[in-house]
Structure 1
Amino acid sequence: MRYFDIGVNLSSEQFAKDRADVICRAQSAGIENMLLIGSNIDDSRQAIALAHTFNLTASAGIHPHDAKTAQGNYCETIASLASDSAVVAIGECGLDYNRDFSPREKQREVFAAQVALANKLNKPLYMHQRDAHQDFLAIVKEAEVPGVVHCFTDSGQALEAYLELGFYIGITGWLCDERRGDTLRQLLPQIPLDKLLFETDAPYLLPRNIKPKPKSRRCEPMHITHVVAQAAELYGLPVEEVANAAFNNAHKLFALEVSACD
């Protein structure tokens, strides 16, 4: 069984006291690689530094929540960060009309600029979309590079549109949430195995199918095994087949070599 967690917020203060232990627990659970998410310039720098410390990968970009703080030369700065060997994607970038922490016009401007930058650098996109499907779709249609729609929780119409564009779909512990994950569980079998990726979005979205329930609500990369197990059940396929498919997909998207099994 081989796992690649394509979404970890390792720079979060929730991991400040035990980052090395978190990585060790993940590796013991079979997680061979992780992508550390950069959500703004400073966070991207931290993600890159941590990726080098733990021999992982990272993204560099500006999240829609942080679009309002983007300075005039932000694309040049992201491009410089993306030249680092640890950086395999541009983002987390996109649109979020659910919380609207940044003005929508500014979100669209910063997202479109990062799509153009990804095209220029030939780097895949790491994307976020909440309650903004139509505007998001209009912008990503300009993408000339592959990408992943991170933490997908949208409708069947949105899923169909993203698959038609060739994007990968990132699945989190939302799938394991009996309170709000029903739509996603119904849609999951419509995601081809060759477009499937898994992520924890740690320290968020702790899978609710963990038994016994952890004392802490903090999600860790090691918990991705529960997301994959839930997905395999919904596909009606062996867990190993689903896990390995997503593992190989991550390497293909991020242009990484797949190491031989030990």
Structure 2
Amino acid sequence: MLIDIGVNLTHPSLAADLDGVLERARQAGVAQLMATGTSLAESEQALRLCEEHDPDGGRLFCTAGVHPHDASQWQDDHRRQLQALLRHSRVRAVGECGLDFNRDFSPRPVQEKVFAAQLELAAELGMPAFLHEREADQRLLAILRDFRDHLPAAVVHCFTGERRALYAYLDLDLHIGITGWICDERRGTHLQELVRDIPAGRLMLESDAPYLLPRTLRPKPKSGHNEPAYLGEVLAMVARQRGETPEAVAAHTSACARAFFGLPDASAGDRVS
């Protein structure tokens, strides 16, 4: 059984065939999925998708937050709106929130202000944080340290950084999410060594679909889009680099995800691929 801790189910390429996406994921052994909220509107949409496509409430959950790309859209009333979303039982973490100094779609001071506002909410509600960071690890750490003692947990989603950043995150007792980036021979080979240093109990797997299609996947889908069903390719690479069996990695990353997000026990009833 696998748990995909980060999938953009609201993206049109997935939402257009969501039942098919979810069935293919089930057949591939992905038992539970966390839909990522990246803005207030998409967080609300993610919550609706969870309720509509999993009425029994055991398989689909979501996060709610404002991505740093959208930080410039933050308004005074957004804190109240986000707080209301976060009180819903299907919403299990605050985010995707953080800093992105790679694209700078929002001014950096605004990103930092909105990031801190969301960490305040996470601390206030006792919820874990789902973090985004690109080329901003030192500033993210500086802001996060002020809140860390008041947060139950935090995960650096889609980690792609270098050794310095990884060790700093682990020193702050953060969790690490690994995606198909590790399967990319052009830019992700450094992760193949670093993933060995992430302790069991801190490591989780995610597709980040429809992005980051694992480049090792054969045959490649005609659409070119990633899906949670391909998470097994990330599992295989992580297991190979850690010197563990895929079954062992699936077991400890899924146990980690259940504990982190407070998920119920679940089994896909199918193979782990």
Q: TM-score scaled to structure 2, two decimals? A: 0.93
Percent identity among equivalent residues?
Answer: 44
Match of 1:41 in 2: 40
Distance of 2:82 and 2:6 partners within structure 1: 19
Structure 1, residues 92-137: CA drift from partner, whole Å, max 9, x if none?
A: 0000000000000000000011011100000000000000111100
Amino acid paired to 2:166: L
Moved over 4 A (4+): none
SS at match of 1:135: helix
2:217 aligned to which of 210, 213, 218? 210
What corresponds to 1:87 in structure 2?
91
1:212 is displaced (CA, Å) by 2.0
Q: Does 1:250 find its partner at 2:266?
A: no
Q: In the alignment, which residue of structure 2 is the partner of 1:163?
A: 170
State the shift of 1:16 in Å. 3.5
Q: What amino acid does structure 2 have at the position aligned with 1:168? A: H
Alignment-derived partner of residue 226 in structure 1:
233
- Distance, in Å, in 2 between the alignment partners of 1:90 and 1:59 is 6
Tell me the alpha carbon deviations over residues 189-224 of structure 1, each in whole angstroms, 9 at most, x when there is no partner. 001121110000000000011112222210000010
SS of corresponding position for 1:193: coil
Alignment-mate amino acid for residue 106 of structure 2: S
Task: Give yes or no for contact 1:248–1:258 (8 Å, CA) kept in 2.
Answer: no
RMSD: 1.1
Match of 1:70 among 49, 70, 74: 74
Distance 1:208 1:116, change over 3 A: same
* Aligned equivalent of 1:180: 187
Aligned length: 261
What secondary structure is seen at the aligned counterpart in 1 of 2:93? strand
Q: Using the alignment, how far apart are the partners of 2:124 and 2:3 within structure 1?
A: 27
Equivalent residue of 1:222, what SS? helix
Unmatched segments (≥5 aa) in structure 1: none
- Report how far residue 19 of structure 1 moved: 1.1
Q: Find the aligned partners of 2:24 and 2:264 in 1 and give their Cα distance.
A: 23
Q: Report deviation, 1:165.
A: 1.3
Task: Report 1 or 2 for greater relative contact order, CA contacts < 8 Å, sequence distance ≥ 6.
Answer: 2
When structure 1 is superposed on structure 2, of 181-190 and 94-103 the one drifting more is 181-190
Residue-by-residue CA offset, 1:132-187 (whole Å, 9 max, x unaligned)? 11110011112222011000001111111111111110000000001110111121
Q: Structure 1 residue 57 and structure 2 residue 61: aligned? A: yes
**1:149·1:170 contact (CA, 8 Å) conserved in 2?**
yes
> Structure 1: how far apart are the matches of 2:129 and 2:51?
21
Q: 2:112 aligned with 1:108, yes or no? A: yes
TM-score, structure 1 length as denominator?
Answer: 0.97
**Residues 26 and 268 of structure 2 are in contact (CA less than 8 Å); yes or no, is this contact kept in structure 1?**
no
